[in-house]
Amino acid sequence: MAEPRKYLLDANILIEAHRRYYGFDLCPGFWDAIVRHHQADVVFCIDRIEEELKRGKDELTEWTRAESPKTFFRPTSDPAIVEQFGEIVSWVQSESQFREEAKAEFAAVADGWLIACAKAGGFVVVTHEAYNRDIRKKVQIPNVCRQFQVEYVNTFEMLRELGIRFIEHPDCKQVGNAAKKVLSLH
């Protein structure tokens, strides 16, 4: 039997889930699934994204500080990751396609570290960003992933690959009463 793929989450996966379709009050099963699959050694994030998330002032910040497993955010200090990051940033800097501001932003945020960690550790990057061969104003994660042969998927592809489904809890009998709806992991 083949080893399951391991996933590395971009910050936008957690931020969009929290702000929109998987809010803590709406779909706690999403967050439970992230933790459960992390405990199975399948889903992770990186320390540099943890730092970004901890600067917020919302439920996601609290989840990051108090509820996420301590091992969920992988360190990026490993020499193999640092080496990959250097190669990635060098490639980005050499590409005339990207504007100078985009190159500077990419070097300053966690995206390059996320891809470097994925490359060094054999992870699949999970991001909402899409490949765009003509983009100039931002260095998109999928563009870099393609250059460095790192697989990437979106949230929904990861959830399907992991067999995660969210269903209404059978005890929720009042249709339309959002306060009494409870979603659970199945």
The pTM of the full predicted model, rounded to 2 decimals, is 0.89
User: Is residue 153 helix, strand or coil?
Assistant: strand
Pairwise CA distance, residues 49 & 114, whole Å: 8
Residue type, 89: V
pLDDT per position in the chain (186 positions), as tens? 667 899 999 999 999 999 999 999 999 999 999 999 999 999 999 999 999 999 999 999 999 999 999 999 999 999 999 999 999 999 999 999 999 999 999 999 999 999 999 999 999 999 999 999 999 999 999 999 999 999 999 999 999 999 999 887 776 655 444 433 444 444
| Average pLDDT value for the chain | 91
Superfamily of domain 7-185 in CATH is 5'-nuclease (3.40.50.1010)
Residue 36 token pair: 């459960």
Residue 10 DSSP one-character state: -
